[in-house]
Amino acid sequence: MIYELQSIQPAALETICDALGQCRTTTWKQLKALIKLELVVCTSFEDESLYCLNGRYNKIISESLFDGLFD
């Protein structure tokens, strides 16, 4: 989810569901867990909630994804 969100952020829940090919409930549970870990933030724009990666963690997330490819 973090990898997909990195490329489509900020994104609405439905957009994230479509990108991941998951149902709304599963995606929402995963987002809630990432929000609790402060890796994802939710912001309101007009009548919609948009989700994006927490800017403070972008570098850590990118490094972790990169390192994971070469383990």
**Per mean pLDDT, which range of 11-15, 30-34, 36-40, 66-70 is the poorest?**
66-70
Number of domains present in the structure of the chain? 1
Joined tokens for residue 35: 């929000």
Domain that residue 51 falls in: 2-69
Q: What is the pLDDT of residue 67?
A: 67
Among the listed residues 39, 35, 62, the one whose alpha carbon sits nearest the alpha carbon of residue 49: 35
Q: What is the pLDDT of residue 32?
A: 93
If pLDDT is split at 50, 70 and 90, which confidence band does 13 have?
very high
Mean pLDDT over 48-53 rounds to 92
Share of the chain above pLDDT 90, in %: 45
Provide DSSP, 4-62.
HHHHH-SEEHHHHHHHHT--HHHHHHHHHHHHHTTSEEEEEETTEEEEEE-GGGHHHHH
Residue 43 is part of a domain; what is its CATH number?
1.10.10.10
If pLDDT is split at 50, 70 and 90, which confidence band does 38 have?
confident
